[in-house]
Structure 1
Amino acid sequence: MLDAVEWYNKSVEYKSNHNVVYSCKYHVVWCPKYRRKVLVNGVDIRLKKLIEEICGEYHIDIIEMEIMPDHIHLLMEVDPQFGIHKAVKLIKGRTSRVLRQEYGWLRSRLPSLWTNSYFVSTVGGAPLSVIKKYIENQKNV
């Protein structure tokens, strides 16, 4: 029978780049300035397409995405050498620029499309107790 560490290692799908093997999944949430409900009337559809294009260009995997009128939920996997902050900054920056160009009413309604902040949380990791046990048992291997 597998112990918790062996089970975890077999159940996680890892990715790799030239020198890192990883599984870095993030739940990210951000809002329009003043939490205005502006992601409607086609803006939401265009925003989704833009996020898919940007993530495709930078090899960021979208696991799930939902656009609400006043916020976005994005579950994605990002190469740790690229970094989650860089990914979010890139997505927010480009989508703001393009959407404000294409939908003039966004420019007149908001000084900038997005708030400066965002929420991020890692997901899909092993429970803390499993990681602690794995580290504690390293000398016994």
Structure 2
Amino acid sequence: MSKVLSLHHIVFGTKRRIPAIVHAEREHLCRIIWALLKDEKCYLYRINCVPDHVHMLIDLNATKSLSEVVGRIKSKSSNWIKSSGKYPLFDAWCDGYYAESISLAERDAVIDYIKNQQLHHADVGYEAEMKCLYKKAGLIWHDMDLY
């Protein structure tokens, strides 16, 4: 039997970065995404939502592709959000997503980073955060990224 550890920090936002994730329903949305990840046989280490985006750290199932899993999570959670009627400003998720593979040594730091998103975003906006993550990963930011 193969043993694979494939840790990924994933971030995706609302279309046009609209603050559509209602605070009172944030935990419910996280539980829906968690259930969807379980259906994909991916392990969720941590998830957190702020008004305009979601962060999660997962162990990707070795038989799945990252793009397929993220696509299904975004599609199915979007359908649930729209049918729930609890997120009136939500139109869709942005077209893309950000993901970085991380090492086991980085896992706890990323978990803490995701856990503390509300504190982090008291000082730093979504776009500034993403530009920093892109730079750290050696990626080039384009204004239409994650739009």
Give runs of aligned pairs for residues 1-141 of structure 1, distance below 5 A.
18=1, 20-103=2-85, 106=88, 109=89, 112-124=91-103
Letter matched to residue 116 of structure 1: D
Runs of 4+ in 1 over 3 A off after TM superposition: none
Return the offset for 1:113: 1.4
SS of the residue corresponding to residue 116 of structure 1 reads coil
Seq. identity, %:
18
Q: CA deviation at 1:41?
A: 3.9
- The alpha carbon displacement at 1:122 in A equals 0.1
Structure-2-length-normalised TM-score: 0.64
Q: Which has the larger radius of gyration?
A: 1
User: Which 5+ residue runs of structure 2 have no aligned equivalent?
Assistant: 106-147
User: 1 CA distance for matches of 2:22 and 2:9?
Assistant: 22
Distance 2:15 2:62 in 1: 28
TM-score, with structure 1 as normaliser: 0.67
Structure 2 counterpart of 1:78, which letter? L
Contact 1:43 1:99 in 2 (8 A): no
Unaligned runs of 5+ in 1: 1-17, 127-141
- Once the two structures are superposed, what CA deviation does each residue of 1:39-75 show, in whole Å capped at 9, x if it has no partner? 1143312211111111122211001111111111110
How many positions carry a matched residue from both structures? 105
- Measured on the aligned residues, the alpha-carbon RMSD in Å equals 1.9
